Structure 1
Amino acid sequence: MDIDELIELVKQHGKSIYGFCYKLTGNKENTDDLYQETFLKAVELRLKMDASRNPKAFLISIAIRLHKNHRRKLAWRQRIAPTAELDEEANKSGSFASEATPEDAVLSLELRTMIQDAAHLLDDKLKLPLYMYYTADMTVEEIASALRIPPGTVKSRLHKARKTMRKVLEVDSP
């Protein structure tokens, strides 16, 4: 794969890859870093990439590996020299131009926050397929390819993730 084909991949899948990176990291600064690192790594690995074999899944798998490596390094650093965690500002993104009333906008934001919090509680084995399916719009087969697991395992993890989130959301709701 040459650079021009890689540029075309960025145009085609860049937005969904960015959204996926955001779901993994949870904030804009780390998302920007992960997104950039993903495509830098893709440039390095472009000769191994085959445009006919689902390049989006290949890019997602690069992002996942980079994210895991970063978390592993961070955990190692925390064990060596613990630092106090900084509180990050809550996710306050999105415009509400489509909502009819301010009350609808508040309810929509509250519901979105509840769903994100429930997803955040999931283990990575459940969270990654869930984000890949709903955020990156990947099929079960694409997720299986990216995570190097059987499609049946992806389906069972999606089912378990939905079931777990449903339980959490039912407990939280009045």
Structure 2
Amino acid sequence: MEPDELIELVRQHGKSIYAFCYRLTGNKADTDDLYQETFLKAVELRHKMDASRNPKAYLLSIAIRLNRNHRRKFAWRQRIVPTSELDAATGAGTFDSLASEATPEDAVLSLELRSMVQDAANRLGDKLKLPLYLYYTADMAVEEIASALGIPAGTVKSRLHTARKLMRQALEVESP
């Protein structure tokens, strides 16, 4: 794959890759890093990439692997030196900006609902969360998800079904 072809891939799939990276990380700074690292790794591995064999799935699988590696490194570092007390003292965390809505009440309700759905999704394990994000945020077909994750399509369908069921149960419990 030539650099010009890679540039075209960024144009075609950049927004969906970025949205998926945001779903994986949950904040803009980490999303920007993961997005950039994904395409840097794609440049390194461009000789392995085949544009005719679903390059979007390949890019998403790179993002998944990089994110998994970052989380492993973070967990290892947390065992050595926990930073949770530091984060609590400085007020670090994620903050979603409010979308411009018709009324302040609608904005608050929308933010609350979005937060509930995101919390329910974040409680799922990676086996269930990744297919869910790929399906709904990256708009990938079941076969594409199977290719990106290296699992059979039936397994993807099963995990999507289980994830939806667990999300539904979690949201029914949390709803007033």
* TM superposition score category, shorter chain reference: over 0.9
Kindly indicate whether residue 82 of structure 2 is the aligned counterpart of residue 78 of structure 1.
no
Task: Report the Cα offset of residue 117 of structure 1.
Answer: 0.6
Task: Report the Cα offset of residue 95 of structure 1.
Answer: 2.2
Misfit runs of 4+, over 4 Å: none
Aligned to 1:111: 113
* Counterpart code for 1:84: T
Task: Report the Cα offset of residue 75 of structure 1.
Answer: 1.6
Q: What is the alpha-carbon distance in structure 2 between the residues aligned to residue 160 and residue 93 of structure 1? A: 30
* Counterpart code for 1:78: Q
Aligned to 1:121: 123
Q: 2:98 touches 2:107 (CA, 8 Å); kept in 1?
A: no
Q: What is the alpha-carbon distance in structure 2 between the residues aligned to residue 130 and residue 92 of structure 1? A: 21
Scaled by the length of structure 1, the TM-score of the pair is 0.94
Could you say if the C-alpha distance between residues 94 and 166 of structure 1 is closer, same or farther in structure 2, counting changes exceeding 3 Å?
Answer: same
Over residues 25-70 of structure 1, what are the superposed CA-to-partner deviations in whole Å (9 max), with x where a residue is unaligned? 1111111110000000000011110111000000000000001111
Aligned to 2:19: 19
Aligned to 1:45: 45
Q: Work out the number of aligned pairs and report it.
A: 171
Over residues 122-173 of structure 1, what are the superposed CA-to-partner deviations in whole Å (9 max), with x where a residue is unaligned? 0010000001111111110000000000000000100100100111100001
Task: Report the Cα offset of residue 116 of structure 1.
Answer: 0.4
Q: How does 1:120-139 map to 2 (within 5 A)?
A: 120-139=122-141
* Counterpart code for 2:82: T
Could you say if the C-alpha distance between residues 92 and 169 of structure 1 is closer, same or farther in structure 2, counting changes exceeding 3 Å?
Answer: same
Root-mean-square deviation (CA, aligned residues, Å) is 1.2
Task: Report the Cα offset of residue 22 of structure 1.
Answer: 0.6
Over residues 58-105 of structure 1, what are the superposed CA-to-partner deviations in whole Å (9 max), with x where a residue is unaligned? 0000000001111111222222x2222224333323522xx3322222
Q: What is the alpha-carbon distance in structure 2 between the residues aligned to residue 154 and residue 52 of structure 1? A: 22
* Counterpart code for 1:166: R
* Counterpart code for 1:127: K
Task: Report the Cα offset of residue 16 of structure 1.
Answer: 0.5
Structure 2 unaligned spans of 5+: none
Structure 1 unaligned spans of 5+: none
* Counterpart code for 1:112: R
Aligned to 1:91: 95
